[in-house]
């Protein structure tokens, strides 16, 4: 794998020590709230408060005054950044805030921004903590009840565990692996598809969720066949990027058209993928005015640019893998 490729993935950047041993401390919440240095990342409907008025684009972190006894809070760890407003070693917490609490913190809704917009302009530290915060808060939002008995679960370990008070089951944050694949043919053209849920001129790499009991490599072969009708071979892992919209991690692979396959025989599945096209590098460059490529924060964009050998000055919203 190319280290340079991994460093180009906006949401894979991080500058926090997750400090997992402290999560289990029984006095964690009291210790964090009594420490005047602790900073809180409030998250409101997936958005964070942003300061674009000073140098660069920075998340606005609050004091622990915004925490209430019933706040869903998660301990994110210790900031490692030396160029952030807070000193290295600052404990960081995230909290999901209500509409009223968000309004009290900052009533101007335009100052609350989403991760996709921030991911290409915010620092490694800020992008990393917002990605971590969204991923774990999204998990909490959909795992409030015990999967065995349905009882309401209790948050423990600094927000990294939920426990059932009836049967003692512990549940831990999950993430859904999805593969995304740069398929090439013998002429080194790539296969792009247009998803039924997008505008009809938006094209991206094919992607899909890994099924239970399936290797990543098997998922690459299966998904490419399901979505295009083509058999591919030689899946090679490139790198990964968390994609907390709401709970994915995107695993990038290359693969090539299998021997004996004719790229013209592709059949879009008609449900997820409505159109498929092969692009040479020249054809892709020539198409930039007529097609929409995946957004700058997506792993798909980085994979296409890596194949192309250059960064594209082409702005659009990112794509997202869907079930």
Q: Which residues in this chain contact Zn ion in the complex, by CB under 5 A?
A: 146, 148-149, 151, 164, 166-167
Q: Which is nearer to Zn ion, 155 or 312 (CB)?
A: 155
Q: Which is nearer to Zn ion, 151 or 288 (CB)?
A: 151
CA-wise closest residue to 255 among 277, 282, 233, 280: 233
Strands 232-243 and 206-209: unpaired
What CA–CA distance (Å, rounded) separates 253 from 92? 34
Q: Which is nearer to Zn ion, 104 or 149 (CB)?
A: 149
Provide the minimum distance between the beta carbon of 204 and Zn ion in the complex, in angstroms, as a whole number. Answer: 40
CA-wise closest residue to 96 among 57, 144, 55: 144
Provide the minimum distance between the beta carbon of 175 and Zn ion in the complex, in angstroms, as a whole number. Answer: 22
Provide the minimum distance between the beta carbon of 75 and Zn ion in the complex, in angstroms, as a whole number. Answer: 24
Q: Which is nearer to Zn ion, 103 or 148 (CB)?
A: 148
Provide the minimum distance between the beta carbon of 39 and Zn ion in the complex, in angstroms, as a whole number. Answer: 34
Provide the minimum distance between the beta carbon of 139 and Zn ion in the complex, in angstroms, as a whole number. Answer: 17
Q: Which is nearer to Zn ion, 13 or 162 (CB)?
A: 162
Q: Which is nearer to Zn ion, 111 or 163 (CB)?
A: 163
Provide the minimum distance between the beta carbon of 69 and Zn ion in the complex, in angstroms, as a whole number. Answer: 24
């Amino acid at each position: 794998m190319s280290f340079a490729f991994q460093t180009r993935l906006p949401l894979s950047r991080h500058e926090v020590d997750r400090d997992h041993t402290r999560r289990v401390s029984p006095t964690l919440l009291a210790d964090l709230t009594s420490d005047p240095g602790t900073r809180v990342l409030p998250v409101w409907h997936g958005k964070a408060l942003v300061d674009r008025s000073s140098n660069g684009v920075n998340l606005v972190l609050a004091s622990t005054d915004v925490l209430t006894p019933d706040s869903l809070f998660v301990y994110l760890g210790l900031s490692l950044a030396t160029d952030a407003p807070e000193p290295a070693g600052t404990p960081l917490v995230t909290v999901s805030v209500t509409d009223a609490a968000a309004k009290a913190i900052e009533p101007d809704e335009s100052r609350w921004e989403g991760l996709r917009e921030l991911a290409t302009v915010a620092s490694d530290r800020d992008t990393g903590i917002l990605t971590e915060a969204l991923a774990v808060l999204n998990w909490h939002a959909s795992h409030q009840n015990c999967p065995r008995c349905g009882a309401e679960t209790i948050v423990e370990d600094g927000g990294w565990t939920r426990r059932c008070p009836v049967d003692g089951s512990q549940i831990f944050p999950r993430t859904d692996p999805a593969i995304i694949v740069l398929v090439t043919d013998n002429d080194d053209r790539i296969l792009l598809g247009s998803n039924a849920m997008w505008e009809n001129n938006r094209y991206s790499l094919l992607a899909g969720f890994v099924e239970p009991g399936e290797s990543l490599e098997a998922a690459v072969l299966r998904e490419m066949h399901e979505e295009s009708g083509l058999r591919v071979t030689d899946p090679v892992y490139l790198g990964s990027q968390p994609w907390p919209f709401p709970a994915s991690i995107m695993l990038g692979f290359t693969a090539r058209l299998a021997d004996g396959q004719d790229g013209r025989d592709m059949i879009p599945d008609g449900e997820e993928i409505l159109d498929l096209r092969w692009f040479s590098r020249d054809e892709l460059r020539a198409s930039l005015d007529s097609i929409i490529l995946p957004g700058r924060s997506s792993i798909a964009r980085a994979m296409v640019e890596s194949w192309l050998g250059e960064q594209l000055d082409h702005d659009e919203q990112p794509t997202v893998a869907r079930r």
